[in-house]
């Protein structure tokens, strides 16, 4: 790799990491403050609209951003064609949602959703303006500009949202915060990007880019629908407050799980690609990645489950206590997500995207069947159903891994078993220890210290290779 490109990549990775953790950390802090000022019902109302916004975003993008990044000889005409297409689709989708708002409100039997949906949907048009600038920044490995825009937008919108929540604006503080964030972010991206659209479009360019992007569009819509189906069901069958509890619990679980999943995916995929033709080496390195991932993510998720109650009470107050019950359960489903990701990475490394798609369809069918069985039994049982679905998905994901490099389900479970035993025993130690403590602050602090000391101490005592490897990496850095 040329030194100039290598420097670009390193610089881009640094700013990408800064953007991910700084912006999400700030959003996490703002969310905690606003959740203390607002009720679960108000978060639930916004949660009911999430799927419409998510699907609209997939339709606006239509895979064009990835197509632009992939195309090496892109022109200003290509960029302009995508830009105008995005705006047209954004406006059309807004009109559709504006008209459909009363029907959505009727579906949930909540009349106030009509106006809320019509206002929140303005964000679709704002998002349509950012597709091309974001693609151009990604092409140039320029995450610094994105970081600036995201941080400024998050700070300003957060201040406005918190102020409105403090002054009793309820769910509208969430809606306005979201729109201001999108508006400022879009404005700053356009100030920073060194490109302006031409007054021309190309039919040929559209067909070329859409031929590639349409496949990603279908995959994206399928994933979006599945990812948000719980929100639709909970909002319809239960209540806005129940949906609010669930979305808070899911967000807290996703914060460590999704971030670590993305990190592990970025690291493992290019490394494994370099040894794709050497199955023996690939299998050894693959198992090493799996065990290190498990060593990090298992105790984090299990530990979060053990301290869920004092964690929720201190951050969000007593009114959110039911979210702690859901968080305790959801963490055991989320702990497997990085393992899923690495298993699916292997299929891409071996060029078997056909198997990737087949597994995704099978898993989603099974997930929906489990959801249908658990809905009548209540929200808590639905969350237990997620654990079952996650474990079944692990068996399915590892089937082809075993076929391709002989590292199937049983081999992976044998590799994980010492880490699983240590993590689950840590959960028991934390749970029992904090049950003798009455103060929530001391429960949270004590749980973290006891759990951390227990896990790290026994890892050192029993000579876990993963512990030694992580310590070695840290010491070298």
- Confidence bin at 363 (pLDDT 50/70/90): confident
Name the DSSP letter for residue 129. T
- Confidence bin at 262 (pLDDT 50/70/90): low
Q: What is the pLDDT of residue 9?
A: 42
Q: What is the pLDDT of residue 8?
A: 45
Calpha distance 434→362 (Å, rounded)? 41
Radius of gyration of the chain (CA): 23
Tell me which H or E stretch contains 157: helix 143-166
- Confidence bin at 42 (pLDDT 50/70/90): confident
Listed residue (411, 277, 270) closest to 342, CA to CA: 270
Q: What is the pLDDT of residue 385?
A: 93
Half-sphere CA count of 101, side-chain side, radius 13 A:
19
Question: Are the beta carbons of 310 and 443 closer than 8 angstroms?
Answer: yes
Helix axis angle for 203-237 and 240-273, nearest 10°, is 140
Is the predicted pLDDT of residue 229 greater than 90, yes or no? no
DSSP 333-378: HHTTHHHHHHHHHHHHHTT-HHHHHHHHHHHHHHHHHHHHHHGGG-
Residues written for the chain: 477
Calpha distance 372→169 (Å, rounded)? 36
Listed residue (12, 451, 44) closest to 230, CA to CA: 44
Task: Give the torsion through C-alpha atoms of 188, 190, 191, 194, to 10 deg.
Answer: 140
DSSP 284-317: HHHHHHHHHHHHHHHHHHHHHHHTHHHHHHHHH-
Question: Are the beta carbons of 247 and 48 closer than 8 angstroms?
Answer: no
pTM of whole model > 0.85?
no
Instruction: Locate 259 and state its tokens.
Output: 């971030």
Calpha distance 154→151 (Å, rounded)? 5
Listed residue (261, 260, 267) closest to 288, CA to CA: 267
Calpha distance 373→233 (Å, rounded)? 12
Calpha distance 335→325 (Å, rounded)? 17
- Confidence bin at 236 (pLDDT 50/70/90): confident
Beta strands per DSSP E along 65-211: none
Q: Which percentage of the chain shows pLDDT scores above 90?
A: 28
């Amino acid at each position: 790799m040329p030194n100039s490109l290598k420097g670009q990549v390193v610089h881009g990775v640094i700013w990408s990491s800064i953007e991910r953790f700084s912006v999400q950390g700030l959003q996490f802090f703002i969310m905690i403050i606003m959740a203390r000022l607002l009720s679960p019902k108000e978060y639930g109302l916004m949660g009911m609209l999430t799927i419409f916004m998510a699907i609209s975003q997939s339709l606006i993008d239509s895979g064009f951003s990835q197509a632009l990044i992939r195309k090496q000889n892109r022109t200003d005409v290509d960029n302009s064609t995508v830009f105008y297409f995005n705006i047209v689709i954004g406006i059309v989708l807004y009109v559709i949602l504006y008209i459909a708002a009363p029907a959505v409100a009727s579906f949930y039997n909540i009349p106030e959703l009509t106006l809320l949906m019509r206002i929140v949907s303005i964000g679709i048009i704002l998002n349509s303006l950012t597709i091309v600038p974001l693609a151009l920044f990604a092409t140039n490995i320029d995450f610094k500009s994105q970081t600036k825009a995201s941080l400024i937008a998050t700070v300003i919108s957060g201040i406005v949202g918190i102020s409105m929540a403090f002054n009793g604006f309820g769910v509208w503080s969430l809606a306005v915060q979201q729109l201001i964030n999108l508006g400022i972010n879009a404005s700053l991206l356009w100030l920073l990007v060194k490109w302006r659209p031409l007054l021309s479009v190309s039919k040929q360019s559209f067909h070329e880019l859409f031929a590639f992007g349409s496949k990603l569009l279908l995959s994206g819509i399928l994933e979006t629908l599945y990812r948000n189906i719980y929100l639709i069901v909970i909002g319809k069958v239960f209540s806005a407050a129940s949906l609010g509890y669930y979305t808070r619990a899911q967000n807290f679980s996703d914060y460590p799980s999704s971030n670590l999943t993305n990190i592990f995916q970025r690291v493992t995929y290019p490394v494994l690609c370099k040894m794709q033709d050497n199955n023996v080496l690939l299998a050894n390195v693959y198992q090493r990645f799996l065990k290190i991932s498990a060593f990090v993510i298992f105790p984090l998720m299990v530990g979060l489950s053990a301290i869920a109650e004092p964690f929720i009470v201190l951050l969000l107050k007593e009114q959110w206590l039911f979210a702690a019950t859901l968080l305790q359960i959801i963490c055991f489903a989320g702990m497997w997500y990085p393992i899923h990701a690495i298993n699916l990475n292997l299929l891409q490394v071996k060029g078997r995207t056909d198997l990737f798609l087949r597994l995704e369809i099978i898993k989603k069918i099974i997930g929906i069947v489990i959801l249908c069985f658990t809905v009548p039994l209540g929200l808590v049982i639905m969350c237990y159903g997620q654990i079952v679905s996650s474990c079944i998905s692990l068996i399915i994901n590892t089937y082809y891994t075993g076929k391709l490099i002989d590292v199937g389900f049983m081999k992976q479970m044998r590799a994980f078993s010492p880490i699983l035993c240590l993590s689950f025993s840590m959960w028991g130690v934390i749970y029992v220890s904090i049950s003798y403590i009455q103060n929530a602050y001391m429960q949270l602090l004590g749980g973290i210290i006891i759990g951390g000391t227990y896990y790290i101490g026994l890892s050192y005592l029993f000579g876990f290779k993963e512990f030694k490897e992580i310590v070695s990496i840290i010491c070298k850095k």
